[in-house]
Structure 1
Amino acid sequence: MTVRPLRAASHRGSGSLPSPWGHVARVAAALAAGMGVGRFVYTPILPLMQARAGLSAGAGADLATANYAGYLVGAVAGILCPALVRSPAVLRVCLTALAGSLAAMPATHSTAMWTVLRLSAGVASALIFVIAVSSLLGHLREYPAHLPGWGFGGVGAGIALSGLLVLAVRSVADWRAAWYAAAALAALLGAASWNLRPEAPAPAAVHPGGDPAGAARMRTHRWFTALFVSYTLEGVGYIVAGTFLVSAIEQSTPGRVGSGAWVLVGLAAVPSSALWAWLGRRRSRPGLLLAALVVQAVGIALPALTTSAAAALVCAALFGGTFIGISTLALAIGSHLRFPRSVALLTAGYSVGQILGPLAVAPLLRHGYHQALMLAAAVVLAAAAAAAVLRIGFPQQVTPARPTPAVRAGDPAR
């Protein structure tokens, strides 16, 4: 497909991109490091730590919650201090800190230290995500929708690579080697994204006699509210599967089906974001968000309804094919509504949901993972209901008020 040239007006003074695909590759590498490895490598390592490091199911949930709490801290920092999201130095510090936190996990058997390390990894992951996604949506706003979609696919690539890595390591070494290998992979991906250009500051317009931008926000806030509720509930539901899927499958299915299913989650996620973004150019994004949430709920419920290996693989394909796509659609809708700092706000709501998810299912884990997965599927269906509300009267075109000539501001709000 031929890529359309970027219109000069869309740069807002940030300069041209010599290679949009190069920018996509750097974003994908950053998301693979920060999310695919930094956050989600814990999922296939968790069964190893439970079997060989004495980690209980409850303690495993607590470590997951610590990581998600750190993610919330990082997302809120991006809201309160927008300069962080535009800083190459912050990105590099976070990439370095993330790899270091992974390498430090096998150096201790202290649950308290593991909690601190997963908390710090969460902070770094959130800032990497917000910086990378803001850069992706900001620099490539006028390119075809599939192009940013491939950037989001970096999360799936990171999941697949880290899953394959753990699958290979577990046959010859223990959980410590898995963490060391994950740290090395995160470092390599961080190096590939080292020169990523964060989003440039936007010019702020001066509007004599009123605040048309504020009026535009008031016109779209009700749709953003429904989107925020839906995406927050998605955070609650998806993270239960994202944390315990491998353990749930391995509990009822012998062999390495659980680890193999997690690799399939990553492989399905790689093209899914580009596919959902492409569909978003031809169908209503709120309608697609609703459909993706329903499909994901079915995928999460499958391992709780049947213990067959085939069902586990179908679950992995449905989950992997939707969870990054849902993020792509939700963030694109927020950008379409032109709501200020929509990426950081939605990420913060998502983070709150991810903290609540493990806490909500923790009392159910003593009976296994099936009840937890069913509850997660129900919450995702509630997110789908909120997405259905989002569809009512959704503005397919949002026309901002015509500004007067813009002037530079020290700290513009997006």
Structure 2
Amino acid sequence: MNINLLDRNSNPAIILAGILALIVGVGVARFVFTSLLPPMLDDFLTITFAGVLASINFVGYLGGSIFAIFIKDINTKVKFFRFGIFLCLATTLVLGISSNETLWAISRVVAGFGAAMALVVGSAIVMTKLKMDNKTKAMGIHFSGIGFSVFVTDIIVRIVFAYEGSWRDAWIVLTIFGFVASMYSMYILSFDKELKQNVVKHKFDKSLFSPFVILLIIAYFTEGVGFVVQGTFLPDIINSLEGLNGYGSFTWTLVGLAGIPSCIIWMTLANKFGSVNIIIIAMLLQVVGILISALTTNVYLNLFSGVLYGGTFVGLVALFMNLGGKLAGSNPVILMGAFTTAYGIGQVGAPLYSVKLIEIYGNYSNALYVTAAIVLAGVMLLFVAKKFATQEQSKI
């Protein structure tokens, strides 16, 4: 079988370009901030400002996700995808060459918007371009790029530090890497000629928002909260535990490794046992992972908390998005938008209450307890939601 990775219409090239776009958009512009947080806290940032930066990054992402819903034309999507990648790279460079807090704040908001263009719009282009009947498995491979985005950017940071580089050097090297990787993505994720598309105008269908769907949306809000605290602070949480200083970055590497296959595994299980059942199991595992660092300083259990986090959060995004798309039928954009908005609101709020609790108690434990309780409430809502599901819905 002859695979040409420079052919814009080859499925393997499209999937590779999509994964690279996620590494740049989600890894460089978002997740590597978590990787670099411990050295930045030692040198420049306060924990409160780090929480504010995380929160406003998600504000940018939330705005970008909602904006993406209204980009109907595929040629316009390509333009915004490229613009988003450019924003991801420009804002990363700012962090390497500036110490101005206002500039940092602006760059994190803009980076969030760029990340949404790379993830939401980029994924839509990948889905449009793939030439196959059943795209679920291919999209599962594409979303493994979220795990790769954590892992690859973390490895780059490790290499920079191995050569005595600083966190500022790391941001500059990440910008250069992102520029090279994005050239390929931008070339493949475009079209040889402008596509003429009939843009179907969908009316806002209130009937989609049944009690079952509303409960799912609220549960996804709690998952947005569950994602953030470890997604922002995990290396520092581990480093702050007695006897575990230095293990934080290794735990974060495990997050990336566990995230890579998780989409495909969870999507396969959902296909067999029903999405809501599998979402409940994934969220319960996430609760266990969140509580570990609050309850024990055992090194192996805390490393395992990284595996549980990486192995659940990527899969849960794919599971909820896939479920929203299927429940909405011919109009997936509206439910996917509602799901993303709920998740985004959870993401924006969680770092703010976390830093307040860290300031008051001087450790991460209470922030972790509150987060675990919120995700557990989401699980309870899913059990209630199952009672409202039609026979058809419970099979999805």
TM-score normalised by structure 2 residue count? 0.87
| Correspondence for 1:354 among 347, 363, 369 | 347
Match of 2:18 in 1: 27
Q: Is 1:71 matched up with 2:71?
A: no
Is the CA contact (8 Å cut-off) linking 2:65 and 2:120 kept in structure 1? yes
Match of 1:127 in 2: 117
The structure that is helix-richer by fraction is 2
What SS is found at the alignment partner of 2:165? Answer: coil
Is the CA contact (8 Å cut-off) linking 1:85 and 1:134 kept in structure 2? no
Q: Is 1:225 matched up with 2:214?
A: yes
Range with greater deviation from structure 2 (157-166 or 321-330): 157-166
| Correspondence for 2:158 among 167, 178, 199 | 167
Match of 1:192 in 2: 184
- C-alpha deviation, 1:168, in angstroms: 2.6
| Correspondence for 2:382 among 383, 387, 395 | 387
Match of 2:229 in 1: 240
The 1:205–1:91 alpha-carbon spacing in structure 2 relative to 1, beyond 3 Å, is: closer
Match of 1:345 in 2: 338
* 1:21-76 Cα deviation digits (max 9, x unpaired): 332222222122111221111001111111122x1111111111111111111122
Is the CA contact (8 Å cut-off) linking 1:37 and 1:158 kept in structure 2? yes
Range with greater deviation from structure 2 (233-242 or 134-143): 134-143
Give structure 1 stretches of 5+ with no counterpart. 1-16, 399-414
Return the alpha-carbon distance in structure 1 between the equivalents of residues 391 and 308 of structure 2.
28
Match of 1:58 in 2: 48
The 1:85–1:257 alpha-carbon spacing in structure 2 relative to 1, beyond 3 Å, is: farther
Is the CA contact (8 Å cut-off) linking 2:87 and 2:114 kept in structure 1? yes
Q: Is 1:281 matched up with 2:271?
A: yes
- C-alpha deviation, 1:139, in angstroms: 5.4
Opposite residue 383 of structure 1, the aligned amino acid is G
- C-alpha deviation, 1:280, in angstroms: 1.8
Return the alpha-carbon distance in structure 1 between the equivalents of residues 370 and 115 of structure 2.
26
What SS is found at the alignment partner of 1:173? Answer: coil
Give structure 2 stretches of 5+ with no counterpart. 1-7
Match of 1:402 in 2: none
The 1:43–1:240 alpha-carbon spacing in structure 2 relative to 1, beyond 3 Å, is: same
* 1:328-358 Cα deviation digits (max 9, x unpaired): 1000000101254133332222111111001
Return the alpha-carbon distance in structure 2 between the equivalents of residues 297 and 86 of structure 1.
40
Is the CA contact (8 Å cut-off) linking 1:157 and 1:269 kept in structure 2? yes
Return the alpha-carbon distance in structure 2 between the equivalents of residues 84 and 119 of structure 1.
25
Q: Map residues 98-177 of structure 1 onto 2, 5 A cutoff.
A: 98-137=88-127, 142-143=133-134, 145-171=136-162, 172-177=164-169
Is the CA contact (8 Å cut-off) linking 2:18 and 2:142 kept in structure 1? yes
Return the alpha-carbon distance in structure 2 between the equivalents of residues 22 and 32 of structure 1.
15
Opposite residue 37 of structure 1, the aligned amino acid is V
- C-alpha deviation, 1:81, in angstroms: 4.4
Return the alpha-carbon distance in structure 1 between the equivalents of residues 221 and 36 of structure 2.
26
* 1:313-335 Cα deviation digits (max 9, x unpaired): 10011100010100010000001
| Correspondence for 1:96 among 82, 86, 89 | 86
- C-alpha deviation, 1:85, in angstroms: 8.8
The sequence identity of aligned pairs, in percent, is: 28
Opposite residue 204 of structure 1, the aligned amino acid is V
| Correspondence for 1:335 among 318, 321, 325 | 325
- C-alpha deviation, 1:106, in angstroms: 2.1
Cα RMSD (Å): 2.5
- C-alpha deviation, 1:146, in angstroms: 2.5
The 1:220–1:29 alpha-carbon spacing in structure 2 relative to 1, beyond 3 Å, is: same
Q: Map residues 285-300 of structure 1 onto 2, 5 A cutoff.
A: 285-300=275-290
Opposite residue 214 of structure 2, the aligned amino acid is T
